Amino acid sequence: MKLTAKKNDGVSPVIGTILLVAITVVLVAIISAVVMGMAGNVGNAHVVGVTVGQDSAVDGGILVTITGGADVNQLSKYYVYNGSTYVGNTTNTTVGIPEAFVPGVGQASISVVGTFSDGNQTIYTGTINVA
């Protein structure tokens, strides 16, 4: 009887497991680097309270009041829009002092955009019926 030696040239299970774990770690590192790179341009959200109400003293007028918030001291200016139409702006960002604007009579889609040191941010959006 003739005996032949069988060669086992395959990778052992331990080596295979180590290779799979290494590949997984490298893939996670690459995906994390890509995702963190994409999220790098996200700005900070600022917290500022704003109320918008009708100005009974002026036809088609509204009153915008800054009511407070954690970042109100960083607010340097704000702009008021009716839809995409510019209504006005002010640098008076004192809490509790209303500022008057005239977007016109009818339904107004008001946006208040604040200016902060790191850029602009919408701090209010809403619809109001202006008489």
In whole angstroms, give the CA distance from residue 61 to residue 52. Answer: 10
Taking the CB of residue 52, how many other CB atoms lie within 10 A of it?
Answer: 21
pLDDT digits (tens, 9 = 90+) for 15-36: 889 999 999 999 999 898 887 7
SS3 46: coil
Confidence of residue 85 (pLDDT cuts 50, 70, 90): very high
* Whole-structure pTM value: 0.66
Neighbouring-strand partners of residue 63: 53, 100
DSSP tally for the chain: helices H, then strands E: 1, 7
